[in-house]
Structure 1
Amino acid sequence: MQAYYATQFVLPLPPGHRFPMGKYRLLRDRLSAELPEIHLAQAEPASDGQLALVHAPHYIQAISDGSVDARILREIGFPWSEAMAERARRSVGATIAACRTALREGIAANIAGGTHHAYPDRGGGFCVFNDAAVAARLMQAEARRGMKVAIVDLDVHQGNGTAHIFRHDPSVFTLSMHGQKNFPFRKEPGDLDVDLPDGTGDEAYLHALDVALDELAHRFDPDLVIYLAGADPHEGDRLGRLKLTWDGLEARDRRVFDWAWQRGVPLAFAMAGGYGHRIEDTVQAQVNTFSAALAYARRWHNRAR
């Protein structure tokens, strides 16, 4: 299975900053050491033209040259730097590469990505550009026929930017299952939003996911799934509050992978959020997602033989 990374670009964050930048390198190192069937490749940066499929040219330029408004930087939560701008491009590039690979091989991944709070003309919530939205638009542009894309967002925070971008687009279905009282506090209506109370737990969460995936199947027939496999629903997450156990998170991932596999739909996934009290817990949740994905990568490989 192919996975793409941009871990060489580390943002110079101030001491005490709450974003766990180190998780990406820790994840890459563990995948390299423990799951040798995963082939790791450095992502190429998304071009201006690719980003402009979703984002306003003036915003792309402002991020590139550092002229971005201070208010937008506050909403993003990162100070501007050349590394910030380059990493944002490569995070999008990694999801683009994962989608292209998934369309050939069945399943592929971005070690980062899931930047679902970014709007066309601004970022927010540690998200600069919206990688899933750009990748979906590009896959549609590259397809020889009309392509329908389902974005299955299981980060604990609603994918407000993604929902806004595709609100009037019937070719992209946005499913977001998230904490009702969590950030963002003003939600954007998507195609299917599932609001969950604090302390939901495994059983209620998995039941809600089953219902949501059934409704997705009833309403939409995708040619590609982009899955945001956030680690933040875990009970050890500082921002999550949904209280899923390790077993619950793994069952969640397997349900999504199996949903796509049973329908023969290629799937690209990204890591999205994770803010564990212990960074090791966030990385473990993500390693578990990759381990589950490998089983489906083997199935795709055997199907192609």
Structure 2
Amino acid sequence: VLLAEGAVENILVVDLDVHQGDGTADILKDEPRAFTFSMHGERNYPARKIASDVDIALPDGTGDAAYLDRLGAILPELCARRRWDIVFYNAGVDVHAEDRLGRLTLTDNGLRSREELVISHFRKADVPLCGVIGGGYSSDVPALAARHAILFEVAAAYA
């Protein structure tokens, strides 16, 4: 809608759910004004990936330090590609060590650091960011809700 109405010219999708962003990649594959980035578990769903503009597949067991290093390196590269009018950010918490489908090993502190990294990066670049919660497959509902809340807690600190 934003593109169709001319409200924006360049959209970046940052998909950090543990599952590759195949749906977004497929929907936006023929839209040159939208750029899709997915960082996900390489051996996770879907088995047959639909290529994003940039895909980073992480090995099983990737933890906080390696994850954050890789993400911190790619964010400036994404911003160097063009001036984004808005970023849509899928903050999947299924990258958490206790997620039953995730296969990565981020901690609560790792999730908080990830949100701080993403939000502060685009804030400093003066690019509006729309963050949405995603993923999360845990039977411990209070822990899952707390993980989802991290996005909003960090965002509130930048308001």
Same fold (TM over 0.5): yes
Which 4+ runs in 1 deviate beyond 3 A?
none
Per the alignment, residue 120 of structure 2 pairs with 258
Structure number with greater Rg is: 1
1:143 is aligned to 2:6: yes
**1:276 counterpart SS class:** coil
Consecutive unaligned residues in structure 2, runs of 5 or more:
none
1:248 is aligned, of 97, 110, 117, to 110
Report the residue type matching 1:273 in the other structure.
Answer: G
Per the alignment, residue 214 of structure 1 pairs with 76
Superposition pairs of residues 166-245 of structure 1, within 5 angstroms: 166-245=28-107
Cα deviations across residues 161-205 of structure 1 (Å, max 9, x unaligned)?
A: 111122232211101000000001111111110000110000000
Greater share of strand residues, 1 or 2? 2
Consecutive unaligned residues in structure 1, runs of 5 or more:
1-137, 298-305
| Distance of 2:123 and 2:86 partners within structure 1 | 11
**1:229 counterpart SS class:** strand
Shift of 1:139: 1.0
Report the residue type matching 2:140 in the other structure.
Answer: R
Report the residue type matching 1:248 in the other structure.
Answer: G
The alignment's C-alpha RMSD in Å is: 1.2
Per the alignment, residue 71 of structure 1 pairs with none
1:161 is aligned to 2:23: yes
Cα deviations across residues 40-88 of structure 1 (Å, max 9, x unaligned)?
A: xxxxxxxxxxxxxxxxxxxxxxxxxxxxxxxxxxxxxxxxxxxxxxxxx
Q: Percent identity?
A: 45
Greater share of helix residues, 1 or 2? 1
| Distance of 1:289 and 1:162 partners within structure 2 | 21
Report the residue type matching 1:159 in the other structure.
Answer: G
Query: Does the 8 Å contact 2:97/2:106 carry over to 1?
Result: yes
| Distance of 1:277 and 1:180 partners within structure 2 | 24
Superposition pairs of residues 1-305 of structure 1, within 5 angstroms: 138-144=1-7, 146-297=8-159
TM-score, length of structure 2 as denominator length = 0.95
| Distance of 1:209 and 1:156 partners within structure 2 | 13
Report the residue type matching 1:243 in the other structure.
Answer: T
Larger mean Cα displacement after TM superposition, 239-248 or 279-288: 279-288
